[in-house]
Structure 1
Amino acid sequence: MALTEHEVLMHIVFPEGAGGRLARVFGVDTRTGQRWNKQEMPMPAEVKAWLEDQQEKIFTIVNPYPDAVLRALVQRMRDAGVHDEAIASYLAEAHVEVLGRTIR
């Protein structure tokens, strides 16, 4: 089953935890972000415009999908024999660097 344009856009900008992350960006209730993500309620035009802008910015760095680049790096580390816990530690450290808090 092919993904809809909306699903692709959401996955490109937020490959994990899209509803909650979108809610935090726009300062709305988590459930509202989840409803936007699942298309259970209309997404405001400014939210869609922001997502499209983020997608464009992401594609200027890596195209077509940034998660593919990250997954390839993780696979290279695994192929080199780096333990999954060590890899996860690097990802957790990057999370703290990006958001200033640990992974929940």
Structure 2
Amino acid sequence: MEGTEVEARDEDRKLQIAVRSAKAALLLSSLKSSVDRVFEAAINDETEVKEKMRREINSLKVELVRERLKIKKIKFCGVMELILQAILVMMISSFFMKLALDDDFPFCNYSAT
């Protein structure tokens, strides 16, 4: 009977070892798949972050171009205002010069005395 008991214990040990090996294989498989999923999720997150950064960079570039155009318009308006003021000053000064040098101007008629 001892021979059958020893064989039964060996069978039990082999069965336990087989069950443990199967459990370990399942755990390793699930661990590997979860690591793969985490790695894929990290890659997807990284691509999403890169895409978001690209979109933000493009929107900032568009905003920069708009600001540059605004600045150019402001400079152009400033130059035009300066030119118009110079023209106005020249017109007013020429008007008064014409009045001063004109013989028909009543205030400049010195020979009427």
Give the greater-gyration-radius structure (CA). 2
Return the TM-score normalized by structure 1. Answer: 0.22
TM-score by length of 2: 0.20
The structure where helix makes up a greater share of residues is: 2
Greater RCO (CA < 8 Å, at least 6 residues apart): 1
